[in-house]
Amino acid sequence: MGQVLLFFEGGAKVMTAVKESLLLTKLEAAAQRVEEIDRQLSDAAVLSQPTQIQKLNKERSELVAQAELYQEFCALLKHVVEAEEMLRDPRGEPGVKDLAREELKELEAKRVELEARARELLTPKDPRDEKNTFLEIRPGTGGDEAALFAAALVRMYTRYAERRRFRIEIVDSNFTEIGGVKEAVLLIEGKGAYSRLKHESGVHRVQRVPATEASGRIHTSTVTVAVMPEAEEVEVQIDAKDLKIDTFCSSGAGGQSVNTTYSAVRITHIPTGIVVTCQDERSQLKNRNKAMRNLRTRIMELEREKQENEIAQQRRSQVGTGDRSEKIRTYNFPQNRVTDHRIGLTLHRLDQVLDGDLDEIVDALIAANQTLESVEK
């Protein structure tokens, strides 16, 4: 990295500004680490250790984009210094100096772009972001109207998963006689599923005139959404002795039996009291496997929440804590409006949002979260 200093001869101001940049300091550290890893990977002692090679290659793949961006910064700053020297040259021709000024404008725009890329690269990644995710949707206050809106949210997330080309399964569901949802558990599989949906946790409020309301009054109801990354089998060890497993006939809307075999599965984890059910498949074995995936996730989430409570690190931020008592979003039907209260975003296209067009909201929440984390760091 010492050769980079040669770029700044005659450009002390630029060099000082760059050296004070925390972004560039972090990028330079990543570039130095990549060079160190490359030296290690050419060492015969390391080449005889497959596990170490795998570890180093993984670390290198995580840092190489930062190292490449650092080289782009260095090239940019070299051009800045050269253009400034042309402007200061008393023997320079006016036409040449005009070109230098234009180049500096272009280089400034490029610098802004590189800094934005650097902030994105250096924002800490949630290790759970790439995981599959479970969504639990339950009606809150509002009776039948809340249950009907819970069904609307199930459809919204199903349509969103289809738009993102995620695979979605209903692991468990319980319907009311009028088509509402008492409870629904969705499994959404695909790279980045949790990262796209993790900010959906919380209380979703709906304001509309229920179909059953004769006087046309607007009612307010709520639905709770919980989002949990799927736990891997190696992350949560479950002793078979701690499980109580029951089988029963699966049922449809209004409790109507949908088959006569005992294919539905209910698993109780005795130490925690967590109960999960699955009746989506006609095969008892498939239902049991899905229920176990859900159970592992619920246990891991319980442990995570316990640890956060113990060290008093519950997150209070612009994008919300995900606590179910927190009202995160309002869906107002008379105004065709949806408002996310955490970031003050309002869209007047509620119909499209409920049809799964969530990307504008999701992208805004992710961007707000990244900005907040950059400030906190």
Among 71-75, 78-82, 281-285, 306-310, the range scoring the smallest mean pLDDT is: 306-310
**301-304 LR contacts (CB < 8 Å, sep 24+):** 301/228, 301/231, 302/272, 302/274
At 25 the pLDDT is 86
pLDDT at residue 330 greater than cutoff 90: yes
At 122 the pLDDT is 78
**What stretches of 268-358 show up as alpha helix (H) in DSSP?**
284-310, 350-354
At 19 the pLDDT is 42
At 251 the pLDDT is 65
Among 40-49, 252-261, 326-335, the range scoring the smallest mean pLDDT is: 252-261
Instruction: For residue 15, give both structure tokens.
Output: 């060099």
> CATH 3.30.160.20 spans which residues of the chain?
235-313
Please tell me the CATH code under which domain 129-230+314-377 is placed. Answer: 3.30.70.1660
Q: What is the pLDDT of residues 114-139, one digit of tens each?
A: 887 887 777 767 778 888 898 999 99
Inter-residue contact 267 to 248 (CB < 8 Å)? no
Q: What is the pLDDT of residues 342-354, one digit of tens each?
A: 999 999 999 999 9
273 torsion bin: left (phi>0), alpha (psi -120 to 50), beta (else): left
Q: What percent of the chain has pLDDT over 90?
A: 33
Which residue has better confidence, 111 or 19?
Answer: 111
Please say whether the structural domain 2-122 has been given the CATH code 1.20.58: yes
Instruction: For residue 346, give both structure tokens.
Output: 């309002």
Q: Which CATH architecture has domain 235-313?
A: 2-Layer Sandwich (3.30)
At 155 the pLDDT is 96
Q: What is the pLDDT of residues 279-325, one digit of tens each?
A: 877 788 888 888 888 888 888 888 777 766 654 343 333 233 434 45
Instruction: For residue 144, give both structure tokens.
Output: 């039948």
CA angle 221, 321, 302 (to 5 degrees): 95
Average pLDDT of the chain to the nearest whole number: 81
337-340 and 133-139 strand pairing: unpaired
The total number of residues written for the chain in this structure: 377
Q: DSSP label at 258? A: -
Euclidean distance between the first and final Cα of the chain, in Å?
A: 25
> CATH 3.30.70.1660 spans which residues of the chain?
129-230+314-377
At 2 the pLDDT is 38
Which residue has better confidence, 221 or 247?
Answer: 221
Q: What is the pLDDT of residues 173-220, one digit of tens each?
A: 888 888 899 999 999 999 889 999 999 999 999 999 887 676 678 889
Q: What is the pLDDT of residues 131-175, one digit of tens each?
A: 889 899 999 988 889 999 999 999 999 999 999 999 998 888 888
> CATH 1.20.58 spans which residues of the chain?
2-122
Give the span between the Cα atoms of 377 and 371, in whole angstroms: 10
| 230-253 burial code (b ≥16 CB/10 A, e <16) | bbeeeeeeeeeeeeeeeeeebbee
At 351 the pLDDT is 96
How far, CA to CA in Å, does 326 sit from each of 43, 76, 205? Answer: 54, 46, 10
Inter-residue contact 341 to 364 (CB < 8 Å)? no
pLDDT at residue 67 greater than cutoff 90: yes
Instruction: For residue 163, give both structure tokens.
Output: 């738009």
Give the span between the Cα atoms of 112 and 119, in whole angstroms: 11
Which residue has better confidence, 47 or 315?
Answer: 47
Query: At 45, which amino acid appears?
Result: A
At 146 the pLDDT is 92
Inter-residue contact 157 to 186 (CB < 8 Å)? yes
